[in-house]
């Protein structure tokens, strides 16, 4: 929904003047092709994890307007929601814009009794991804907020530090279940093979031929299944099955890690037919690791796509709903689209983007 009030004209204290500089930041959403689930500490601390992923031209965006007082106002332009509190107060994590509250507490700090400490601000949030899309929207928003806040307070952070800070906000401060791939993918941007271990995280940028990337875009389709999913419960189930030593879960995760490397090799050699087949293998392995990630309607959509020209595909994110990524024969994309639209699917165009987090200053509201 559109926000009904203009963020720069409803409060005289935040109208920009020629002397006021606004801060803007945006962080891209991501597509994960293989390895999701191996980026959970329970797995990678034992075996090492590997994820193949890329950022796309969909974003979480923020605008930050510094205030002369110690007040914080956070506005979601997507949900007509406003949260207000003072920096001398503990933020209440009640489900209302908690990611932004926690990021502010981490980067901007709190005001003491003497007024020293953090700085008041107005923060406006907007995202191209609905909740539960499977495209890492929460991490993208957290990264964008951290980027704008760090610029405001003059804190210089490299991409690894930004990713780890976002991970701490989501996993430690808010207790949200999940792995590490989303934070690193959106902070760095581009096509990456990301490796996780107990000691460190390594982001390996892939130098994929431009013609191969263009052709890959021609073969991929992104279809919204008509339902969102809440990943925390699915992740916790997978964690429970892994810790219990369920053989299929362990084997499925091992296969996902292997497939991530194989898909990387297919991209670097331009073997897109192999890439599409591996995408199908990755989906089957993901179901072995956690059979709850799909349901009858999603399974029917996927098999319909396969019968009509899709070589491979997978649900993005932890599963349960959101977007279905499909690798199709170019000449049969129309058939796949028509069949899935009759089943309630909604298709959206996208393109790969190399840029990760971007932060800039603006004098224009």
Any domain includes 99? yes
What CATH number did the domain enclosing 181 receive?
3.30.230.10
Considering the domain architecture, whether residues 180 and 274 belong to the same structural domain is answered as no
Any domain includes 6? no
CB 128 within 8 A of CB 59: yes
Q: What is the pLDDT of residue 233?
A: 79
Considering the domain architecture, whether residues 218 and 145 belong to the same structural domain is answered as no
Mapping DSSP onto H, E and C, the string for the chain reads CCCCCCCCCCCHHHCCCCCCCEEEEEEEEEEEEECCCCCCHHHHHHHCEEEEEEEEEEEEEEEEEECCCCEEEEEECCCCEEEEEECCCCCCCCCCCHHHHHHHHHHCCCECCCCCECCCEEEEEEECCCCCCCCCHHHHHHHHHHHHHHHHHCCCCCHHHHHHHHHHHHHHHCCCCCCCHHHHHHHHCCEEEEEECCCCEEEEECCCCHHHHHHHHHHEEEEECCCCCCHHHHHHHHHHHHHCCCHHHHHHHHHHHHHHHHHHHHHHCCCHHHHHHHHHHHHHHHHHHCHHHCCHHHHHHHHHHHHCCEEEEEECCCCCCCEEEEEECHHHHHHHHHHHHHCCCEEECCCECCCCCEEEEECCC
From the list 39, 98, 128, 182, the catalytic residue is: 182
260: closest CA among 165, 185, 176? 185
Considering the domain architecture, whether residues 74 and 191 belong to the same structural domain is answered as yes
Q: What is the pLDDT of residue 112?
A: 44
Any domain includes 195? yes
Any domain includes 32? yes
Considering the domain architecture, whether residues 83 and 134 belong to the same structural domain is answered as yes
Q: What is the pLDDT of residue 159?
A: 97
Any domain includes 197? yes
Considering the domain architecture, whether residues 158 and 254 belong to the same structural domain is answered as no
Considering the domain architecture, whether residues 220 and 80 belong to the same structural domain is answered as no
Q: What is the pLDDT of residue 8?
A: 32
Q: Residue-wise pLDDT tens for the chain (365 aa)?
A: 222 223 333 333 344 434 568 999 999 999 999 999 999 999 999 999 999 999 999 999 999 999 999 999 999 999 989 999 999 888 899 999 999 999 999 998 764 443 345 889 999 999 998 777 889 999 999 999 999 999 999 999 999 999 999 999 999 999 998 999 999 999 999 999 999 999 999 999 999 999 999 999 999 999 998 766 555 577 888 888 999 999 999 999 999 999 999 999 999 999 999 999 999 999 999 999 998 888 888 999 999 999 999 999 999 986 667 899 999 999 999 999 999 999 999 999 999 999 999 999 998 87
308: closest CA among 326, 293, 283? 326
Question: Per the structure, how many domains does the chain have?
Answer: 2
CB 80 within 8 A of CB 74: no
Considering the domain architecture, whether residues 168 and 243 belong to the same structural domain is answered as no
Considering the domain architecture, whether residues 254 and 325 belong to the same structural domain is answered as yes
Considering the domain architecture, whether residues 259 and 357 belong to the same structural domain is answered as no
Q: What is the pLDDT of residue 212?
A: 97
Considering the domain architecture, whether residues 200 and 224 belong to the same structural domain is answered as no
Considering the domain architecture, whether residues 103 and 229 belong to the same structural domain is answered as no
Any domain includes 248? yes
State the Cα–Cα distance between residues 203 and 187, nearest whole angstrom: 11
What CATH number did the domain enclosing 223 receive?
3.30.70.890
285: closest CA among 264, 313, 254, 261? 254
Residue numbers of the domain that contains 336: 210-348
CA distances in angstroms from 178 to 40, 181, 316, 317, listed in the order given: 7, 9, 14, 10
Q: Catalytic site residue 182? A: yes
Any domain includes 320? yes
- What is the token pair recorded at 162? 């930004």
Any domain includes 191? yes
Considering the domain architecture, whether residues 200 and 263 belong to the same structural domain is answered as no
């Amino acid at each position: 929904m559109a926000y009904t009030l203009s963020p720069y004209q409803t409060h005289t204290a935040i109208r920009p003047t020629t002397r006021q500089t606004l801060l803007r930041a945006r962080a891209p959403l991501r597509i994960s092709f293989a390895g999701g689930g191996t980026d959970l500490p329970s797995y990678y601390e034992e075996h090492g994890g590997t994820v193949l992923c890329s950022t796309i031209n969909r974003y979480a965006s923020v605008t930050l307007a510094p205030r002369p007082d110690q007040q914080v106002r956070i506005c979601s332009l997507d949900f007509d929601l406003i949260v207000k509190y003072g920096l001398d107060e503990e933020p209440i994590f009640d489900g209302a814009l908690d990611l932004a509250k926690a990021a502010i507490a981490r980067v901007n700090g709190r005001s003491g009794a003497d007024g020293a400490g953090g700085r008041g601000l107005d923060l406006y949030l907007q995202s191209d991804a609905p909740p539960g899309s499977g495209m890492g929207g929460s991490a993208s928003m957290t990264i964008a907020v951290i980027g704008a806040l760090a610029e405001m307070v003059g804190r210089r952070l490299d991409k690894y530090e930004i990713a780890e800070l976002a991970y701490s906000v989501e996993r430690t401060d808010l207790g949200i279940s999940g792995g590490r791939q989303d934070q690193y993918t959106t902070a760095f941007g581009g096509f990456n093979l990301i490796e996780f271990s107990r000691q460190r995280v390594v982001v390996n940028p892939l130098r994929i031929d431009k013609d191969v990337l263009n052709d890959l875009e021609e073969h991929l389709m992104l279809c919204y299944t008509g339902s969102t999913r809440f990943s925390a419960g699915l992740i916790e189930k997978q964690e429970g099955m892994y810790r219990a030593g369920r053989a299929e879960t362990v084997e499925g995760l091992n296969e996902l890690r292997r497939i991530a490397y194989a898909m990387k090799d297919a991209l670097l050699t331009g073997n897109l037919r192999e890439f599409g087949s591996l995408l199908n293998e990755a989906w089957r392995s993901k179901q072995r690791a956690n059979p709850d990630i799909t349901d009858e309607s999603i399974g029917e959509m996927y098999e319909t796509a396969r019968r009509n020209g899709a070589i491979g595909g997978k649900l993005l994110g932890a599963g349960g709903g959101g977007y279905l990524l499909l690798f199709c024969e170019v000449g049969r994309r129309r058939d796949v689209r028509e069949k899935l639209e009759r089943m309630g699917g909604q298709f959206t165009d996208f393109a790969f983007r190399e840029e990760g987090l971007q932060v800039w200053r603006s004098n224009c509201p």
